Structure 1
Amino acid sequence: MENTREKVAAVIAKLGSSGIICDLFGGWAEELLGLREPSAHRDIDMLYRNETFKELDAKLRSIPDFEEVPLKRFRHKRAFRFYGTLCEITLVQEREGPLTLFWGDVPFRWDTPLLHGVSVEVGSEPISVVSANNLKRYRDLHKDTQPHRWRDPQALEPSA
């Protein structure tokens, strides 16, 4: 199964039916909001608004269609494959506004509001999408989040 709009809707719906609410982020969010032309996507990026990954980790283990990617298990991120497509979830905590602590020590403050005002329909699935302002801001400041650190074995968070 290719990485299509239908797959985006299926992932969001599967997570939601398991009690995991995520907001679409990254290239797919940009495409759905008309910020970029339709193109091929390598992955599906999402944000998870919570204080920790504890609940998400427990629930993800019970969904047989999701296969965790241990080499992308960080303090700020979880990743899994859904029928061959990489899906990445970034943690957004509420700390006097939305905040992601990349690697546990690199703060990235999201603008408020975090989300686009209304859900975007994909098929029959209403999908919550990160705001255009935050998508642009993240693209502009991505290097500040120190993405090179994913190669550092010390950055990995052990499985529970």
Structure 2
Amino acid sequence: MNVRTGQFGPPPVLSARARIVPVAATMAGSMVSGLPVILDQPLLPPAGLMMLLAWRLLRPGLWPVWAALPLGLFDDLASGQPVGSAMLSWTLIFLAIEASERTLVWRDYVQDWLIAALCLIGGIVFGYVAALAAGGAAPFAVIVPQMLMAVLLFPMTARLCARLDQWRLR
């Protein structure tokens, strides 16, 4: 049975735009951390992870679980985090979402936001621990505003992905 259409038979043939837009949007989100913004503490949310989560929650059958691995590698290279930290955390997040989808019969907007909030906080904490292991030194309280910004800005990211999804499927 086809996950996207709910019908039996081969999956529909997608155009190049339909295949490229989610990946390009996630990669563009990963490059947001490279913007020349000067802050004394990490305040920018992980936009790449936010885009990844928004696409994953909007279109559950869009990507296989392993798709988080190369996108996490790109995020590691674009953000300057230790290589492998986003690869591992994003893959674990995808696996957790996959497990939650097997238990939840249906989801609404509030549940998606709660799932995204937990995943974003977990991803930020994982990145913090990876940075500490690589030699960084900062108190935990420094990343709390980043976590709040990520959770509060997720609905805007989800709306952006929904608009991009409408455009890509035209």
Shorter chain as denominator, the TM-score bin is: under 0.3
Q: Which has the larger radius of gyration?
A: 2
Higher helix residue share: 2
Q: Which has the higher strand share?
A: 1
